Structure 1
Amino acid sequence: MVQDADVIILGAGAAGVAAARRLSGAGLSVTILEALPRSGGRAYTSLAAGLRLDLGCGWLHSADRNPWTEIAVEAGLSVDRSPPAWGTQFRNLGFSPPEQQAARGAYTAWYQRISERSPESDSASDALEDGEWTGYIEALSGFTSGDGLERISVRDYLSYDEASSHIDYRIREGYGTLVSSAIPAKAELFLATPVEAVSVADRKVGLTTAFGTINAERVVVTCSTNILAGDTIRWPSGLDPWRNAAASLPLGYNEKLFLEVSGSSPFEAETLVLGDPRDARTGAYYIRPFGWPVIECFLGGASAKEAVDAGPDIAFAGAIGELAHLFGFEVRNNLRPLVCSNWTSTPSVGGAYSHALPGQSDARRQLARSFDGRIFFAGEATDPRDFSTAHGAFQSGLRAADEVLSSVHA
């Protein structure tokens, strides 16, 4: 392993890639240490049944201002600009038009309450009113934030929603493919190299790995908040304020399952269903994306936590059960478990994406501060408005890289 570098970057995800591009482009020597045996971080495209399936982020959110859109075009990847099927229920199965109208009305009323008279507690659940569609609103919270509304900051939730352009594209080759392909050739990348400890002494930052210690004058940390707040890596005590901020921005529960579709079935391409719109534990099922013979099953919050606790076999069985309830028992013959994510149990990640706990939305700015002009922080959790996205992570990587360059030239 190389013994020193101008800058070391912890993590080869979207934030690390962005920082590496900026810093190597400015002529600095850059080394990236990645704990996983692959690059991309939470952008991960898995090859299964000959298809490139995104087990992590899959949509270019706010695509009209998302820097990854331009990078994808420049790389010659296929950007699909057709609108997603979100907000629809194929053939109104298990969710009649009047029920859909009532459910959306309940969500709109809740959103107006948090927008117009935010609860003093800053807890999104305190704006809920008892009713038939509470489970529906909680399910949406699970999909968007990975947690129940009682653990969601209203200010944080509104910051993201108000910034979003609600324009979403996809990349046929996969978001993970895009992020991994964007690593600059000049950066030295070490995969399967988890950092065990970080130390600061004599104007140097030391990173201890199983292969030895590497030193640099400056380090960009792009670890997830659960890793920063946890004990997977031994951190110097001087970083306790940053670790406390990270603990206020935990990762939610979100997982994906893909089912393979075979034979003649009622599953039409580019359609979507909610399994049970009254149940906070329901899954959302994107049917045959790109016309492919798969169903993308998205679990969030309570449903994702149950899947993690019960294991993939039970999770797949639950997804097939919800689809069979809507489409008929016989579709069980058309569905086969294909591949699934496991973000919560991945040691170097520990969850999906960050959300601020009630009263803690300012922790994003606290986490984004640099330490002693030597350690700089990036990652989706440090972006005040585009958190939970790969473009928020990318923007944070550029911001941290610019801070590094300013410190070099100070």
Structure 2
Amino acid sequence: MDYDVAVIGAGAAGIAAARKLAEAGRSVVILEASNRVGGRAWTVELSGMPLDMGCGWLHSAERNPLVAIGRDAGFTIERGPTAWQSQWRDLGFLPEERAAAAAAWEALEERLRTNPPASDRASDALVPDSEWNAYCQSLSGYVNGAPLERLSVADFLAYDNAATDANWRVHEGYGSLIAAVVPDVSLRLSTPVRRVALTGGGVRLETDRGPVSAAAAIVTVSTNVLARGTIAFDSEADEHLHAAAQLPLGLADKLFMELHGNHGLEPETHLLGDARNDATGSYYIRPLGRPVVEGFFGGKGAVVIEQAGLLDAFVFAFEQLSSLLGNNIRRHLRPLAASSWCHTDWVRGSYSHALPGHSGARTVLARSVGGRLFFAGEATHHSDFSTAHGAWESGLRAADEAIGGGG
């Protein structure tokens, strides 16, 4: 055997697994298809600012293991409340409207808890023709990356029951934190795995740079990659691939716009573009005091801007902002950066949600195969799916299983 354990994917789950295995004295190789580590945690440095193109919030921060890991690694953790639920100067979304919209969302959640639809489809709990249905759909897009029609009620509640309201940030970037804690193991970037086969004594992985053998393997790639058949597996993993198809990645994207000149915008403020448009952008203004507006699009909104293309996506954001702030704001905005997770090779989406009737697919995907093949990643977490810390914890779980299985 070349290694005790081969880890496929260098995102949060793969890095966590490799760290745990290395600490246990196992020999480890990480095989990453792309040319960088971090997966959906990705920080880029532009105009002197670290910008998180993927995950950017330490959700459920009081119990998030990456808070302590980040601090130990020398990162600055920014605590405190966020501006997401506010509307700067009440522009375009008056206090009474915000209260009514919030009440509609809370009532929807209450119906999902106390009288969930037999279909397990969240949209079936909407009040027909309600004024705030589009608002509820936009929130689902931000939280789940998908519209309520594609969302399992049981799955949504599993997350919602476990999550807290504490959302903190990493000053230097969440992606930078994840990339900084890769353990001292063999790391092979730009090395896609094409086939994983169980052998008499272990696992054989066929890669673009030759075969790798190991006593066990941990697979941390996204559900969309698994469901597309990008990696071939033996028939013993067929149930896992089917489960992955029931846990598709939703879509969330960001547009960063640089601010310059005397724009008059205050730091740490927020604007929802249009509360009655389910494709609306949500705009965080001057996060951490930086001269930038971070536009966030989820679900239908993210699909719309990806289909429109980069130029038209920024046009849409500029139009939403100018409708609230006046046309003068356009002269103070410059396109800076954008994500496109649907088109990002080796990921193909943002974070997982269970389709109606399929919340149990997470348990299936998390099962091992023959005590030699293990699965991790945010989609395998029972309650903290769609988060980096959920991915991290799943990597630790898979590493423990591999160690216990003799890997």
Q: Tell me which interval the TM-score lies in, with the shorter structure as reference length.
A: over 0.9
* Residue of structure 1 in register with 2:64 after alignment: 66
**Unaligned 5+ residue runs, structure 1?**
none
* Residue of structure 1 in register with 2:153 after alignment: 154
* Residue of structure 2 in register with 1:174 after alignment: 173
Which shows bigger deviation, 235-244 or 143-152? 235-244
Residue 314 of structure 1 deviates from its aligned partner by 1.0
* Residue of structure 1 in register with 2:140 after alignment: 141
* Residue of structure 1 in register with 2:12 after alignment: 14
Distance 1:242 1:231 in 2: 12
Map 1:9-408 → 2, pairs under 5 A: 9-129=7-127, 130-185=129-184, 187-408=185-406
Distance 2:198 2:109 in 1: 46
Distance 1:124 1:26 in 2: 43
Residue 4 of structure 1 deviates from its aligned partner by 1.5
Distance 2:305 2:299 in 1: 10
Distance 1:399 1:114 in 2: 30
The superposition leaves residues 291-318 of structure 1 with CA deviations (integer Å, 9 ceiling, x where unpaired) of 1011111010111001111211111111
The superposition leaves residues 7-47 of structure 1 with CA deviations (integer Å, 9 ceiling, x where unpaired) of 00001111001101100000000000111111001000011
Residue 203 of structure 1 deviates from its aligned partner by 2.5
The superposition leaves residues 351-389 of structure 1 with CA deviations (integer Å, 9 ceiling, x where unpaired) of 000000011111101100000011000000000100000
Residue 208 of structure 1 deviates from its aligned partner by 1.3
What amino acid is the match of 2:49? L
Distance 2:98 2:165 in 1: 20
User: Is the contact made by 1:259 and 1:295 (CA closer than 8 Å) also made in structure 2?
Assistant: yes
Distance 1:320 1:191 in 2: 37
Structure-1-length-normalised TM-score: 0.98
Distance 2:317 2:231 in 1: 35
Distance 2:264 2:98 in 1: 22
Residue 234 of structure 1 deviates from its aligned partner by 2.0
Residue 231 of structure 1 deviates from its aligned partner by 2.3
User: Is the contact made by 1:19 and 1:400 (CA closer than 8 Å) also made in structure 2?
Assistant: yes
Which shows bigger deviation, 41-50 or 203-212? 203-212
Residue 204 of structure 1 deviates from its aligned partner by 2.6
User: Is the contact made by 1:89 and 1:273 (CA closer than 8 Å) also made in structure 2?
Assistant: yes
Q: Aligned with 1:258: secondary structure?
A: strand
Q: How many corresponding residue pairs?
A: 406
The percentage of counterpart residues that share the same residue type is: 51
Distance 1:242 1:234 in 2: 12
Q: Tell me the C-alpha RMSD between the 2 structures.
A: 1.0
Which shows bigger deviation, 66-75 or 224-233? 224-233
The superposition leaves residues 232-291 of structure 1 with CA deviations (integer Å, 9 ceiling, x where unpaired) of 222222211000000000000111110000101132110011000011000000000111
Task: Could you list the structure 1 runs, at least 4 aligned residues long, displaced by more than 3 angstroms after superposition.
Answer: none
Distance 1:54 1:145 in 2: 18
User: Is the contact made by 1:266 and 1:327 (CA closer than 8 Å) also made in structure 2?
Assistant: no
User: Is the contact made by 1:124 and 1:150 (CA closer than 8 Å) also made in structure 2?
Assistant: yes
The superposition leaves residues 307-360 of structure 1 with CA deviations (integer Å, 9 ceiling, x where unpaired) of 111211111111111001100001110111101111111120010000000111
Residue 201 of structure 1 deviates from its aligned partner by 2.2
Residue 217 of structure 1 deviates from its aligned partner by 1.2
What amino acid is the match of 1:88? S
What amino acid is the match of 1:250? P
**Unaligned 5+ residue runs, structure 2?**
none
Structure-2-length-normalised TM-score: 0.98
What amino acid is the match of 2:69? I
What amino acid is the match of 1:146? G
Q: Aligned with 1:160: secondary structure?
A: helix
